[in-house]
Structure 1
Amino acid sequence: MQKMGMVIGINPESIVEYKALHAAVWPQVLATLQKANIRNYTIFLREPENLLFGCWEYHGNDFDADMAQIGEDAETKRWWRICGPCQQPLASRLEGEHWAMMETVFHMD
């Protein structure tokens, strides 16, 4: 199992909509994440900086293949088309990233 964290900006005018969407995530989107070995997924909001911090546990053996599987799911693509405009990717993210992945510097069980 690998714990992973990521960050992205959020448009201030989209915060209410984003919270409402995530209060009732579509079942197919959740099932796709589960199938791709994602567990214990949480998103936090930091205002007034308007940052979203996401963290999850990855329980698979091939992260790239599992992420590709998520990206191929039609319902997840539809979800992203709705949520994507709410988000502001960081200028410092790596090529190919939407959410910027973060380095683990401390963990306590």
Structure 2
Amino acid sequence: MQLNPDCKEEYKKRHDEIWPDLVDVLKTHGGSNYSIFLHEQTHQLFGYVEIENEQQWQKVAQTEACQKWWAFMGDIMATNPDNSPQSIELTSVFYLP
């Protein structure tokens, strides 16, 4: 994902104050150990979340709480026409269980 320049503090503030209903949605859809990291020179964001089930997790995007969050975050990061964050899939090149 891509954060707009000079929006680090606002991005962090919004996540420090994440809405309880969104937290509930993430957890009830099987998400845990969710972290987001910022590469400060490129403003790229990397999200990591452990999920119970891929199909269950994909349904998060359809919830009202998630769609409202996307709209709320749209002014500080690159988004798609549906307000979802622009993102790319990364290819796993190493895993140590």
Q: TM-score range by the shorter chain?
A: 0.7 to 0.9
Name 2:78's counterpart in structure 1.
Answer: 88
Runs of 4+ in 1 over 6 A off after TM superposition: none
1:98 maps to 2:79: no
TM-score normalized by the length of structure 1:
0.73
TM-score normalized by the length of structure 2:
0.80
Name 1:17's counterpart in structure 2.
Answer: 10
1:35 maps to 2:25: no
Larger strand proportion of the pair: 1
Task: Give the paired residue count.
Answer: 93
Q: Give the CA deviation at 1:85.
A: 2.7
SS in 2 for 1:44: strand
Q: Quick one: percent identity of the two aligned structures?
A: 26
Distance change (3 Å), C-alpha of 1:20 and 1:97: closer
**Structure 1: 5+ residue stretches without partners:** 1-7, 90-95
Q: Aligned Cα RMSD in Å?
A: 2.1
Give a deviation string over 1:64-87, Cα, whole Å, max 9, x none. Answer: 4531x2122212211110113322
